[in-house]
Amino acid sequence: MRISDSIALVTGANRGIGRHFTRQLLERGAAKVYATARNPEQIDIPGVEKLRLDITDPRSVEEAAAVASDVTLLVNNAGISTFTNLVSGDLGKIRSEMDTHYYGTLNMVRAFAPVLGTNGGGAILNVLSALSWFSHDGANAYAAAKAAEWSLTNGIRLELAKQGTLVTGLHLGSADTDMSASYDGDKMDPADVVRVALDGVEAGLIEVLADEWSRHVKASLANDPSVFYGLAGH
């Protein structure tokens, strides 16, 4: 998958990692970048095609796919974090996490898979998380939704292989964006996250682990979970 001369669409392009994806795609020579958001007037990057898009609204997604019928690279970046737990948390917020990360991503894939197939196969990049692989008290709704999106990513990879579409999953611990403003731990520069992700797509990788934390978490899956969570003896 070559970024140069590609036609890309980025969801959630108005801020955070999505904004960096949009800028770097242009810098790498993408022929066109559709920058999408619920409020596209907030997108301030020159040289992009702005589109209004709500990934949780199937009609909005279908309208975007009709306009952006030349796309060869789909970046599913849009997401939310409600910092909600599962047992006692607000059920509406829990559903919102799943509607965005799982069903919203699925809406985009279902609408754009035929577009990518018609245009030669192309690629899909799903922005996932190290939280796809572990839970964290205080953000368990997010972790559950990202775990579902990871499984979705693996599933669509198999389904779209026959049309030659590369499906890449990006995992990271935390990036220095508005979404993680309340987090006090180590944070990656979002520009570095995007650089690693796009390098991975160009290299044909199906999974990109952007930092040491995501590599550590994935490696821990082979062990008893009591070790990772410090629950030995419970």
Residue 161 host element (H or E): none
pLDDT at 186: 73
Average pLDDT over residues 98-127: 98
Confidence of residue 188 (pLDDT cuts 50, 70, 90): confident
Residue 234, domain member (yes or no): no
Nearest to residue 132, comparing CAs of 159, 108, 107, 152? 152
- pLDDT digits 0-9 by tens, 62-84: 999 999 999 999 999 999 999 99
pLDDT at 68: 98
Domains in the chain: how many in total?
1
d(CA 33, CA 39): 17
| Burial class of residue 227, CB neighbours in 10 A (0-12, 13-18, 19+) | exposed
Q: Tokens in use for 141?
A: 């709704």
Average pLDDT over residues 105-117: 98
Residue 155 host element (H or E): helix 140-160
Residue with the bigger pLDDT between 186 and 118: it is: 118
Residue 1, domain member (yes or no): no
Q: What angle is formed at CA 155 by the lines to CA 35 and CA 223, rounded to 5 degrees?
A: 110
Residue 165, domain member (yes or no): yes
Sequence-separated (6 or more) residues with CB below 8 Å from residue 119 = 7, 70, 71, 72
Residue 2, domain member (yes or no): no
Looking up residue 151, the CATH number of its domain turns out to be: 3.40.50.720
Nearest to residue 57, comparing CAs of 38, 72, 70? 38
Residue 225, domain member (yes or no): yes
Residue environment code for 10-49, b if the CB has 16+ CB neighbours within 10 A, otherwise e: bbbbbbbbbbbbbbbbbebebebbbbbbbebeebeeeebe
- Domain ranges, residue 137: 7-229
Query: Which pTM does this prediction carry?
Result: 0.93
